Structure 1
Amino acid sequence: MFITICVGSSCHLKGSRQIIESLESLIKEHHLEDDIELNGSFCMGECMKGVCVTMNGTLYSLKPDNVEEFFNKEVLGGLR
């Protein structure tokens, strides 16, 4: 599974660094380092909604306070 987080200026100001740190922590906590690859990217063009994150080609808009919900629903759900 590939997850790409925008690290462009707008998303950086909206918390992309915190989102990356949260995802890294959740991946380690669930021992999924061999199953999930995190990548960074610059502008994905949907900056208005939140931090742009793509997972296997699907675009999501995240905020630091909804990363765990995203991880549990979309990431863990996608691995099942």
Structure 2
Amino acid sequence: MIITVCIGSSCHLKGSREIVKTLESLISLHNLKNKVELNGSFCMENCLKGVCVKINEDVFSLEPKNTEQFFKEEVLRRLSNECNQL
């Protein structure tokens, strides 16, 4: 799984640095470094609502306060679904 967080100027002002730190921490906490690749990207042209984050090609809009919920609902769920399909 590839998670890409926008670190462009608009998203930076909306908290992308905090989101990256939270995701790094959660990936480490759940021992997912070998399953999740965390990348940064400059403007992904979807920054009106919040920080633009992609899981593979699916686009989400995050705020620092909903990053943990996003991780549980999207990242862990998707990884669980992948494991169940094997």
User: Please, what TM-score do these two structures have when normalized by structure 2?
Assistant: 0.92
Equivalences, count: 80
Distance in 1 between the 2:71 and 2:36 partners? 11
Matches of 1:72 and 1:36 in 2, distance apart?
14
User: Given the alignment of the two structures, is residue 49 of structure 1 paired with residue 49 of structure 2, yes or no?
Assistant: yes
How far apart are residue 46 of structure 1 and its match? 1.1
% identical equivalent positions: 60
Q: Which runs of no fewer than 5 residues in structure 1 stay unpaired?
A: none
Distance 1:27 1:47 in 2: 24
Quote the offset at 1:51 in angstroms: 0.1
Larger Rg: 2
- Report runs of 4+ in structure 1 exceeding 2 Å deviation: none
Equivalent position of 2:31 in the other structure: 31
Aligned alpha-carbon RMSD (Å): 0.4
Take 1:29 and 1:44, find their aligned partners in 2: how far apart are those partners?
A: 28
Distance 2:31 2:44 in 1: 29
Match of 1:69 in 2: 69
Give CA deviations for 1:8-64 in whole Å, capped at 9, x if unaligned: 000000000000000000000000000000001011111111000000100000000
